[in-house]
Amino acid sequence: MVDGYTRIAGLIGDPVAHSLSPPIHNAAYRAAGLNYLYLPFRVRRGHLPAAIRAVLSLEMVGVNVTSPYKEAVLPYLDELSAEAKLLGAVNTVAPVNGGLKGFNTDVEGFLYLLESAALLPLKGETAVLLGAGGAARAVALALQKAGIARLVIVNRSVERAQALRRTLSPAAPFKGVEIAVDQPGRPTFSGKRIAGASLLINCTSVDPVESGILPAQKAIRNLKAIIDLRYSPPEPPFLQWAAAAGVTAINGLNMLLGQGRRSFEIMTGQEAPLEVMKEALAGGGE
């Protein structure tokens, strides 16, 4: 029941109407006996500074931050967690010591996805990333923590791929980080690029089937899994393509769940009721 003691949490982004975060977090609040309410807030870019200031002025519990503001929000924060600073992106903001602290739960979210899919450990293995943006940075760091030894970064822009490699250099001691530059409709990462790899992960917002950046189907058959960080629709063309080759195909829903678990803990100071959150997610409930 909403009353004068209800604390507000939420999601800031544009768009946010599709988000699965509200049902997940609200179910968790009820299970934990917290008089909290989680709401989605569509924020236009020009209103972002005011929206972030409102976390303090309205005494909110905190907010999650989604596209396109994970990097744009940085100038309005007083402090960053170590991972948010390294990745240059924030997806959770909470009041800390009278100011606002930014966190990045993407690494923990992806590690939870790997764990839930029984893909761990990955010590000494190889992963191929499609994309070199913010999501790819977080996934690469998670893979390093999971024991991956070698990365292949497949991206259209060599500059962005090199920037990702530089970001990883001080933090992720991979044995090798290889860059493959692709052009639409002309895939350059052949079967040799994927030979011996365990994972192929789409870290872009575009379906690789639609962009034409794919290896030959026969080259993927020895992979442990193909992962698409997107979760809507749950079976996009890329994952259908993977399944048709007999490869385990995984969407990003469990990454969302892992992200949500950590952001719940940041905002409330309590352990997240994970099973309740799982049930809310399974029921249709970022």
Side-chain-side CA neighbours of residue 208 (13 Å)? 30
Q: Stretch 74-87: mean pLDDT, rounded?
A: 94
DSSP assignment, residue 252?
Answer: S
Residue 196 has pLDDT above 70, yes or no: yes
pLDDT grade, residue 269 (50/70/90)?
Answer: very high
Q: Stretch 127-155: mean pLDDT, rounded?
A: 89
Start-end ranges of CATH 3.40.50.10860 in the chain? 7-104
pLDDT grade, residue 69 (50/70/90)?
Answer: very high
Residue 45 is predicted with a pLDDT of: 94
* CB burial string 56-76: b at 16+ within 10 A, e below: eeeebbbbbbbbebbebbeeb
Distance, in Å, from the CA atom of 95 to the CA atom of 60, rounded to the nearest integer, reads 8
CATH class of 108-253: alpha beta
The CATH number fitting domain 7-104, selected from 3.40.190.10, 3.40.50.10860, 3.30.70.141, 3.40.50.1820: 3.40.50.10860
pLDDT tens by residue, 89-136: 999 999 999 999 999 999 999 999 999 999 999 999 999 999 988 899
C-alpha distances in Å from residue 48, one per residue of 54, 68, 113, 139, 255? 10, 11, 30, 26, 26
Q: Is 70 a catalytic residue?
A: yes
Residue 151 is predicted with a pLDDT of: 87
Residue with tokens 């970022």: 286
Out of 70, 85, 145, 192, pick the active-site residue. 70
**Could you tell me whether strands 126-130 and 150-155 are parallel, antiparallel, or unpaired per DSSP bridges?**
parallel
Start-end ranges of CATH 3.40.50.720 in the chain? 108-253
Kindly give, in sequence order, each residue whose CB lies less than 8 Å from that of residue 130, ignoring residues fewer than 6 positions away.
154, 155, 200, 201, 202, 203, 204, 208, 213
Percent above pLDDT 90 for the chain = 69
Residue 186 has pLDDT above 60, yes or no: no
Kindly give, in sequence order, each residue whose CB lies less than 8 Å from that of residue 186, ignoring residues fewer than 6 positions away.
212
What 3 state SS string does 53-90 have? HHHHHCCCCEEEECCCCCCCCHHHCCEECHHHHHHCCC
Residue 189 is predicted with a pLDDT of: 60
What is this structure's pTM?
Answer: 0.90
Query: Which region holds residue 257: left if phi is over 0, alpha if psi is between -120 and 50, else beta?
Result: alpha
